[in-house]
Structure 1
Amino acid sequence: MKKRTALVTGGNRGIGLAMANKFAKEGDRVVILDLSAEPSEEASRVTEESGGAYFACDVAKQADAERAVREALETFGFVDVLLNNAGISRWRSFLDTTEEDIDAIFNVNVKGIYNVTRPIAGSMMAAKKGVILNTASMGGKWGQPLESAYCASKAAVIELTKIMAMEFGPYNVRANSLCPGIIKTNMSHDAPHADDFWLEKTPLGRLGRPDDVADVAYFLSTHEARYMTGQAVNVTGGMIMY
Structure 2
Amino acid sequence: MTDLSDKSIFLTGSGGVLGSTYVRRMLDAGARVIASELPGARYDGLAAKFGQNENFALYEMDVADEAAVGDTVSQILADGHKPNVFFNNASITGEMLMKAGAEFPDLANTTLDSWNKALSVNLTGPFLLAREIDRQVLGKWDLKLINIASMYALRAPHHDIYEGMPFKNFSAYQATKAGIHGLTLWLASSWRHKATVNTLAPGAVFNGHSEEFQKRVSELIMQGRMAQPDEIADVALFLSSSGANHMTGQFVNVDGGYSAW
TM-score by length of 1: 0.90
Report Cα offsets for 1:204-231 as digits up to 9, x if no partner. Answer: 1221122111110110111111111111
Runs of 4+ in 1 over 6 A off after TM superposition: none
1:99 corresponds in structure 2 to 112
What residue is the counterpart of 1:150 in the other structure? 173
1:183 counterpart = 2:241: no
Aligned 1:134-173 pairs, distance under 5 A = 134-144=147-157, 145=159, 146-171=169-194, 173=195
Instruction: Look up the SS of the partner of 1:116 in the other structure.
Output: helix
C-alpha contact (below 8 Å) 2:214/2:225 kept by paired residues? no
Q: Distance in 2 between matches of 1:29 and 1:150?
A: 30
Determine the C-alpha separation between the residues in 2 that align with 1:14 and 1:35.
Answer: 15
Structure 2 portions without partners, runs of 5+: 95-103, 160-168
Deviation, 1:42, is 4.5
- Which one-letter code corresponds to 2:150 in the other structure? S
Deviations 1:114-156 (A, max 9, x none): 1222222344422241100011111111132442111001000
2:13 equivalent to 1:10: yes
* Between 100-109 and 139-148, the greater mean CA deviation after superposition: 139-148
Q: Could you say if the C-alpha distance between residues 211 and 40 of structure 1 is closer, same or farther in structure 2, counting changes exceeding 3 Å?
A: farther
Distance 1:233 1:43, change over 3 A: farther
2:233 is the counterpart of 1:214: yes
* Amino acid across the alignment from 1:241: A
- Relative to the length of structure 2, the TM-score reads 0.84
**2:87 is equivalent to residue 83 of structure 1:** yes
From 61, 67, 71, give the equivalent of 1:67.
71
**Distance in 2 (alpha carbons) for counterparts of 1:43 and 1:77:** 18
Change (3 A) 1:170 1:217: same
CA contact (8 A) 2:27 2:55 kept: no
How many angstroms apart in 1 are the aligned matches of 2:17 and 2:226? Answer: 14
Amino acid at match of 2:200: L
Deviation at 1:22, TM superposition (A): 1.4
- Alpha-carbon contact 2:151-2:255 (below 8 Å) kept: yes
Answering whether residue 124 of structure 2 is matched by residue 111 of structure 1, we say: yes
Any idea what SS the aligned residue of 1:174 has? strand
Gaps of 5+ in 1: none
Is 1:30 the equivalent of 2:43? Answer: no
Whether contact under 8 Å (2:84, 2:141) holds in the other structure is: no
1:241 maps to 2:254: no
RMSD (Å), alpha carbons: 2.0
Deviates more, 1:198-207 or 1:97-106: 198-207
